[in-house]
Amino acid sequence: MNDRNQARARRDASRAGAASDESRRRPTINDIARLAEVSKKTVSRVINESPFVKEDTRQKVSAIMRELSYEPDPQARGLAFRRSFLVGFIYNNPNPQYVVNAQQGILDGLKGSGLELAVRPCDRDSDTFLEEMRGFVQRQKLFGVILFPSVSEDERLAELLQGLDCPYVRVASVELDDAESMLVTNDAVGGSEAARHLADLGHRRVGHITGPLTFRSAHERRRGFAEGLAERGIVLDEAWVKQAGYTFESGLAAGRELLARTPRPTAIFAGNDEMALGAYQAARDLGLRVPDDVSIIGYDDAPIAARVWPALTTVRLPIRDMGRVAARKLMRQEGVDHDEADETVRPTLVVRASSGPAPAD
Amino acid sequence: MNDRNQARARRDASRAGAASDESRRRPTINDIARLAEVSKKTVSRVINESPFVKEDTRQKVSAIMRELSYEPDPQARGLAFRRSFLVGFIYNNPNPQYVVNAQQGILDGLKGSGLELAVRPCDRDSDTFLEEMRGFVQRQKLFGVILFPSVSEDERLAELLQGLDCPYVRVASVELDDAESMLVTNDAVGGSEAARHLADLGHRRVGHITGPLTFRSAHERRRGFAEGLAERGIVLDEAWVKQAGYTFESGLAAGRELLARTPRPTAIFAGNDEMALGAYQAARDLGLRVPDDVSIIGYDDAPIAARVWPALTTVRLPIRDMGRVAARKLMRQEGVDHDEADETVRPTLVVRASSGPAPAD
DNA sequence: GCCTCAATGACACCGGTTACCAGACGATAG
DNA sequence: CTATCGTCTGGTAACCGGTGTCATTGAGGC
């Protein structure tokens, strides 16, 4: 701390002779109170929109606050409230596109509220995971926490947050135990969209490359896919479901195996875009054309999906919207933000060039 | 605020009957002082590593802090210090991969320091850009700010931060005015790596798709590329440099134009991977094979680069490292963190399948 | 004239910090 | 051996910039 102050002192010295300290100082609640000829408590009431302030008093105080462009100090306020104005964004998703979109959406939702976003990636498998999270939440006295998959599915973390009395919103693909603070992404819907699309194109022999079934997202996508097929009278053969690891390489291996079979599937639904691209590669290796010989559908609409050739048909999650909705939900729970907002978000199928009519036998 | 407290009160009520308030309360400096039988001032000295504490006193106090797993409240500390423990990460890069990596690196660097990261995307072209930034920095009394391209190149922002007495580190591709708080990425080096690679493969007619030259990164990459070619006795023909917008579509258009010429360039260096993929598409449209007919090199090593076919040769920036180094540099400036660290980071060429020997004429 | 209620202010407090002072302690001088 | 002095430490109070609690004031209703 010594050193730190030295550094600051040096900087101060280097710009000595600027405006006088008095005039440069940010105004405090005391300054406002003095100028408005009221007590600081009354100013505080104005800040917090207490109904117990006479209208003209409020006007006078507001005018002075505006004139001095006064903003209350979040640290001081937080200290008194025993609570900060920091929202924690806890994530462990390996897909950067996903993280950035979610983060951006949350920031959209937080905008103008005075809340700041503190980000915190984590590793659920770490021994100290829960301890770290506890430290983060408790030390910062977080206003609230927003959880995205797959940490959002961690019940231990949810319990911890309840114990710490820290409000949270979980974004997840299925209903969890505490439905109240949940936001559902409907992965099953996305799966069934893909299924209907393939069925309508005439496909009957369809394969599925699923992500690790320990991920709810993978589980739900598969379930939705099977249900969508069933709606069209098609049974998803368990033998044509290969489990992979959400990675390109694992998708490649699974794709190779599925496409080497006789009879061959005419379509493959992959649990994410990475694996879909692995399947592309597998098809290419086997001399199969997409979509003429085999249709391939992904999930996520990663930026790469539109770039590859042929452009990938995929299911898009409105992740940024989900972030925004999650943030507003948190704020609404805590009594800031009085808008209404719908709380569930539907994925949509983006049809590109990788899906086409089933080939004649 | 009323509503907010109501919400909290409701939650409190719902879990009434948990542990008693007294035992659940986080310990404060007073608790430590009482138990250690010293004054709070002494505890404060221990926290701040003052040299004026007898060794056994320090031991005793530390032991009790550890036992109660006491952590000083950053808000209270910040209030007294007139400074928070929040580092601001200000970015405006459209590439999510870039942002996430930078962010992750910064978090790596901050880890264990007790500093939190508050993220803030921005739009340099907005009218209120500077005002927003001023508000952010001043309201939160930020410990410091880390700037990544291209906001890092904004001199108005740098001046603002100096005026606000807020320490900052700028990550940029060239030396700027205040070299002291700078971290250089050496984009020119990356450009010349690409140039040497192509020259060594025998290419003589090379084209370049540059990003917007208002971006220093674009300017530097181009400059380095020209210099690298010059080293091998090749002149970069200005007519074969097309400016594009760092996007797939603009890369496609520029690629089309370059590849339609006679004689045709045998290699193209694109200012980023997106544009390189646009050039892929242009080559495909014209019936040209990569790399047999034309070699293509990108920049950034976006995740997509390894996934496309043929896999893209590209220049990799160690962005995550840059984030870490930037964070430690900021900390060092402010007297926390006493490690030494090198402060410049070199890009490396990742050779994949999209670059090959120049075709015979 | 008393009671009620809206509006305001006085004061302590949130959990740390600094400024300043007092007491302990060892060394030194008389 | 005692008085005096300087050096360490630790205690006390004030402060950072807001908030909660409770008392006070004045106006209006009965």
Whether residue A103 contacts residue A119, with contact meaning beta carbons closer than 8 Å, is answered with yes
Q: Closest partner residue to B100 among A15, A96, A336, by Cβ?
A: A96
Q: Which is it for the CA torsion A118, A121, A125, A126, positive or negative?
A: negative
Q: Please report the pLDDT score of residue B132 as a whole number.
A: 94
Helix, strand, coil: what percent of chain B each, to 5?
Answer: 50, 15, 40
* Closest nucleotide over all strands to A82 (CA to C1'): C14
Q: For residue A28, what is the DSSP state? A: -
Amino acid at B4: R
Do A7 and B335 make contact, defined as CB atoms within 8 angstroms? Answer: yes
Q: Which of A253, A256, A300, A292 is nearest to A274 (CA)?
A: A300
Which 151-210 positions of A have CB less than 7 A from strand C? none
Q: Closest partner residue to B1 among A49, A78, A274, by Cβ?
A: A49
Q: Please report the pLDDT score of residue A204 as a whole number.
A: 95
The CA distance from A19 to A101, in Å, is 42
Strand D close to B30 by CB, under 7 A: no
E strands in chain A: 86-91, 116-121, 144-147, 168-172, 182-184, 206-210, 241-243, 267-270, 295-300, 313-316, 348-350
* Closest chain A residue by Cα to residue B46: A1
The least confident of A56-60, A284-288, B10-14, B16-20 is B16-20
How is residue A336 written in tokens?
A: 């800031």
pLDDT in tens, A249-307: 999 999 999 999 999 999 999 999 999 999 999 999 999 999 999 999 999 888 789 88
Q: Please report the pLDDT score of residue A346 as a whole number.
A: 84
Q: Parallel, antiparallel, or unpaired for β A313-316 and A348-350?
A: antiparallel
The least confident of A299-308, B106-115, B234-243 is A299-308
Question: Half-sphere exposure (CA, 13 Å, Cβ side) for A205?
Answer: 15
pLDDT in tens, A340-349: 666 667 899 9
Helix, strand, coil: what percent of chain A each, to 5?
Answer: 50, 15, 40
Q: Please report the pLDDT score of residue A3 as a whole number.
A: 41
Cα distances from B241 to residues B208, B213, B226, B254, in angstroms, run 5, 11, 10, 9
Do B1 and A48 make contact, defined as CB atoms within 8 angstroms? Answer: yes
> How does residue B174 score in pLDDT terms, banded at 50, 70 and 90?
low
> How does residue B176 score in pLDDT terms, banded at 50, 70 and 90?
low
* Angle, vertex CA B227, rays to CA B224 and CA B228, nearest 5: 85
Q: Protein A40 CA to nucleic acid C9 C1', in Å?
A: 9
Q: What residues of B are in contact with residue A5 (Cβ under 8 Å)?
A: 335
The CA distance from A208 to A258, in Å, is 9
Q: For residue A153, what is the DSSP state? A: G
Q: Closest partner residue to A75 among B78, B104, B335, by Cβ?
A: B78
pLDDT over 90 (residue B6): no
Q: Please report the pLDDT score of residue A63 as a whole number.
A: 94
The CA distance from B134 to B3, in Å, is 30
The CA distance from B147 to B155, in Å, is 12
Centre a 10 Å sphere on the Cβ of residue B256 and count the other Cβ atoms it contains. 17
pLDDT over 50 (residue B331): yes
Strand D close to A118 by CB, under 7 A: no
Whether residue B251 contacts residue B278, with contact meaning beta carbons closer than 8 Å, is answered with yes
Q: Which of A199, A276, A206 is nearest to A239 (CA)?
A: A206
> What's the residue count for chain A?
361
Which run of H or of E encompasses B322?
A: helix B319-333
Distance, in angstroms, between B360 CA and closest chain A CA? 28
Strand C close to B79 by CB, under 7 A: yes
Q: Protein B43 CA to nucleic acid C29 C1', in Å?
A: 38
Residue bearing the bigger pLDDT, A359 or B338: A359
Distance, in angstroms, between B97 CA and closest chain A CA? 6
Distance, in angstroms, between B48 CA and closest chain A CA? 6
Q: Please report the pLDDT score of residue A146 as a whole number.
A: 96
Q: Please report the pLDDT score of residue B302 as a whole number.
A: 82
Q: Protein A78 CA to nucleic acid D19 C1', in Å?
A: 9
Which 249-278 positions of B have CB less than 7 A from strand D? none
Distance, in angstroms, between B287 CA and closest chain A CA? 14
Burial-class residue A144 by CB neighbours within 10 Å (0-12, 13-18, 19+).
buried
Do B7 and A167 make contact, defined as CB atoms within 8 angstroms? Answer: yes
Strand D close to B39 by CB, under 7 A: yes
The string of DSSP letters for A225-267 reads: HHHHHHHTT----GGGEEE--SSHHHHHHHHHHHHTSSSPPSE
Strand C contact nucleotides, protein CB < 7 Å? 6-11, 13-19
How is residue A63 written in tokens?
A: 């005018």
The CA distance from A72 to B79, in Å, is 12
Average pLDDT of span B58-68: 89
The CA distance from A354 to A277, in Å, is 11
φ, ψ at A253 (rounded to 5°): -65, -45
How is residue B201 written in tokens?
A: 């493969």
Q: Show the 3-state SS of A307-323.
A: CCCCCCEEEECCHHHHH
φ, ψ at B343 (rounded to 5°): -120, 20
Please state, rounded to an integer, the average pLDDT across all residues of chain B: 88
Distance, in angstroms, between A216 CA and closest chain B CA? 24
Q: Closest partner residue to A3 among B15, B18, B335, by Cβ?
A: B335
Q: What residues of B are in contact with residue A277 (Cβ under 8 Å)?
A: 307
Whether residue B124 contacts residue B98, with contact meaning beta carbons closer than 8 Å, is answered with no
Q: Closest partner residue to A11 among B138, B165, B248, by Cβ?
A: B165
pLDDT over 90 (residue B4): no
* Closest chain B residue by Cα to residue A104: B121
Over chain A (361 residues), what is each successive 10-residue block's mean pLDDT? 43 41 74 91 92 90 93 95 96 86 95 94 94 95 93 92 93 71 84 97 96 88 96 94 94 96 95 95 95 96 86 93 92 79 80 94 70
Q: Please report the pLDDT score of residue A343 as a whole number.
A: 65
Which run of H or of E encompasses B121?
A: strand B116-121
Q: Please report the pLDDT score of residue A157 as a whole number.
A: 94
Q: For residue A19, what is the DSSP state? A: S
Average pLDDT of span B18-32: 68
How is residue B267 written in tokens?
A: 């290699």
Q: Protein A54 CA to nucleic acid D26 C1', in Å?
A: 14
Strand C close to A73 by CB, under 7 A: no
Strand D close to B80 by CB, under 7 A: yes
The CA distance from B181 to B325, in Å, is 12
The residue of B12, B100, B142, B247 whose CB has the most chain A CBs within 10 angstroms, and thus the best one to mutate to test that interface, is B100
Do A167 and B309 make contact, defined as CB atoms within 8 angstroms? Answer: no
> How does residue B16 score in pLDDT terms, banded at 50, 70 and 90?
very low
